[in-house]
Structures are given as C-alpha cells and as structure tokens.
Chain A
Amino acid sequence: GDSVTQMEGPVTLSEEACLTINCTYTATGYPSLFWYVQYPGEGLQLLLKATKADDKGSNKGFEATYRKETTSFHLEKGSVQVSDSAVYFCALSDGNQFYFGTGTSLTVIP
C-alpha cells in the first residue's frame, strides 16, 4: 500500500541555519504530496502542497519539490528561525485517504 517515510528526529539547529527534512513516498498512482506543521499544543496546519510531478510548493520560506523520479518531497528552508520550532509531517493523498509520516521534531536555538 501507499506509505510515507520521513527522516527521524529530533533535529536541532541554530538560528539562520539551513534545514532539510527528507521525505520519500511509495504510491501506486499519482498522489498529491503535503507538508504539515504542528506547533506545541496545536493541531496540524497545512504548510505547503504539490499535486503533480515537478510542482514546487512554497510557504513562509519553506519549499518542497515533487520529485517523481526519486519519489521524494524533501522540505527545505534556507534560514530557520526560533519560531520554526515545531513538528513537521510529510503526507500523501491517493485520492482516497491520507497517509502521514511519523513526524520530525525541529528545535531552533538562538
């Protein structure tokens, strides 16, 4: 079945460092791909999405490109801030349901 695998955390970075959180997927069709962010004590919020191959999703300085050839959707940010500290979830939709990764915790220290 479809699935998502993302890098395990936790990840700790200094402010202004570069961030990459790896995400790969397995799907039989052409899924849509998503990144969600969860701040402490809150629900998941949609960060960005891409619905077809080579699409780039972007929001709040974060980017991810739908790579069909490598079945990947890595999350990147050039310069992280303390306020980016959260748990990040990669997810895919096959049109029938969502499949979530287990989440990667990011802590950014001043």
Chain B
Amino acid sequence: NAGVTQTPKFHILKTGQSMTLQCAQDMNHGYLSWYRQDPGMGLRRIHYSVAAGITDKGEVPDGYNVSRSNTEDFPLRLESAAPSQTSVYFCASSYSKGGADYGYTFGSGTRLTVV
C-alpha cells in the first residue's frame, strides 16, 4: 500500500546510545517531516525537508539529526539518546511544504523508550 513506512515500531534504548529511525514514502511527496508526540503537548516538529538535499530545523531539533539523500527516505538520528527523548515519533509527508492542499500523510509511528 502506498504511504509512509516507519521502522522500527518499538525500541528501547539505553542512555547515551545512538540509533536511527527510518522513514520511507512512496507517494513522490516532496515534503517530509518528523514530529514527536508527548502527552499533553500535542505534536511538535523536529526537522523537515522540502526536497532531497535540503533540510531545516523545526520547533524541537536539539539532540536530533536528519539527512535527505533522495525523495523517498528521511531518517532521523539520535546520536546520544537521553531519557527526555522518550516519545512517539511520527514521520509525515505531503506534496507541498505546508500541506495546505491535501494535508499530511502520517506513518504509524515509532515508540521509543530511553532508559
């Protein structure tokens, strides 16, 4: 099925370890973004990309890195995980940067626990 695929679905990480959350879309969307979802805080954007080779910071970028080498993939890397990064992470895509026309398509999420 066309859409946004995120892996893994669940992961437990120790403080200080690194890991990469994967995001892949097959809808030829130009815009990709990463959000984290925390109780009572809604969704906050971490990083985003409007095209391959172009990335920018969102609202809460500290502790996260991204890269975009092609249209399909947008991995999110945690270099040295902290307990404050325990969250549910969502990748979202759209045709346009703001998604004002068709909205965003979300992946099913990665639930990350940092102990």
Contact = CB atoms under 8 A, between A and B. Distances in A.
B101 A32 contact: yes
Given A89-B43, A96-B97, A100-B43, A46 B107 contact: no
Interface in A6-20: none
Contacts of A45: 106
The range of chain A's interface size is 20 to 34
A62 interface: no
A32 B103 CA distance: 9
A93 B103 contact: yes
Given A43-B107, A101-B42, A102-B42, A31 B90 contact: no
Interface of B: 4, 6, 40-43, 45, 48, 90, 92, 96-109
9 contacts: A34-B103, A36-B106, A43-B109, A44-B104, A93-B100, A95-B96, A95-B98, A97-B45, A97-B97
